[in-house]
């Protein structure tokens, strides 16, 4: 594939909307619209058999959802720095042990967003520092309870479902 033209049709605080004109291997030329995203982190914070979740209002879905702590990478910030910052901002916790365990694309059909998943252990409680528009509540649940909530449709956040399935596959 060859990109013939690139256009930014919208530039926002979190992402840009791009349109590319692409020549396929067959010679056919197509247009593709997609979200260009700087990437994000998601934190799988555990204490024993419990996982740290947050209940957060998400305006795009017009409601409250249960999810793991997460956030968008800032310019010049490494995924690990972002994970440490987001964990403390959203929950007040700091992790003595933080390890990247997997990466996943959110929706590669229309977005470049790649989420770096971190396992956070040996947590120390502190004070949360949420951003002005973040309304969150910390919840601790065991993995089995979260799996039940997923099966009942009570947890619908894809990054959280991915994280809990990873935890279950690891026997944590």
What backbone torsions phi and psi does residue 135 show, to the nearest 5 degrees? Answer: -120, 110
pLDDT score at 130:
67
Q: Can you name the CATH fold of 40-170?
A: Nucleoside Triphosphate Pyrophosphohydrolase (3.90.79)
Decide: pTM greater than 0.85: yes
- CA distance linking residue 78 with residue 73, whole number of Å: 7
- 169's enclosing H/E stretch is helix 158-170
Of 139 and 129, which is predicted with more confidence? 139
pLDDT at 85 over 70: yes
pLDDT at 82 over 80: yes
Average of per-residue pLDDT across 12-18 = 94
Task: Tell me which residue has tokens 């995203």.
Answer: 37
pLDDT at 131 over 70: no
132 tagged catalytic: yes
CA angle 134, 93, 47 (to 5 degrees): 120
pLDDT at 134 over 70: no
Per DSSP, which regions of 12-161 are E strands?
16-23, 29-36, 40-47, 50-58, 63-67, 70-72, 93-105, 114-125, 136-142
Set 132, 134, 148, 154: catalytic member: 132
pLDDT at 94 over 80: yes
Residues of the chain with CATH 3.90.79.10: 40-170
pLDDT score at 127:
77
- 2's enclosing H/E stretch is strand 2-11
């Amino acid at each position: 594939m060859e990109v013939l033209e690139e256009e930014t049709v919208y530039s926002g605080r979190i992402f840009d909307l791009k349109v590319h004109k692409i020549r396929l291997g067959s010679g056919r030329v197509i247009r593709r619209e997609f979200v260009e995203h700087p990437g994000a982190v998601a934190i799988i914070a555990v204490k024993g058999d419990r996982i740290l979740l947050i209940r957060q209002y998400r305006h795009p879905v017009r409601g409250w959802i249960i999810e793991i702590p997460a956030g968008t990478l800032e310019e010049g910030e490494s995924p690990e720095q972002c994970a440490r910052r987001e964990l403390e901002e959203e929950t007040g916790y700091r992790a003595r042990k933080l390890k990247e365990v997997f990466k996943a694309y959110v929706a590669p059909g229309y977005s470049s967003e790649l989420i770096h998943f971190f396992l956070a252990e040996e947590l120390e409680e502190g004070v949360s520092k949420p951003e002005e528009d973040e309304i969150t509540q910390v919840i601790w649940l065991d993995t089995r309870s979260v799996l039940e909530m997923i099966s009942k449709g009570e947890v619908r956040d894809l990054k959280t479902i991915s994280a809990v399935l990873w935890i279950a596959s690891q026997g944590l």
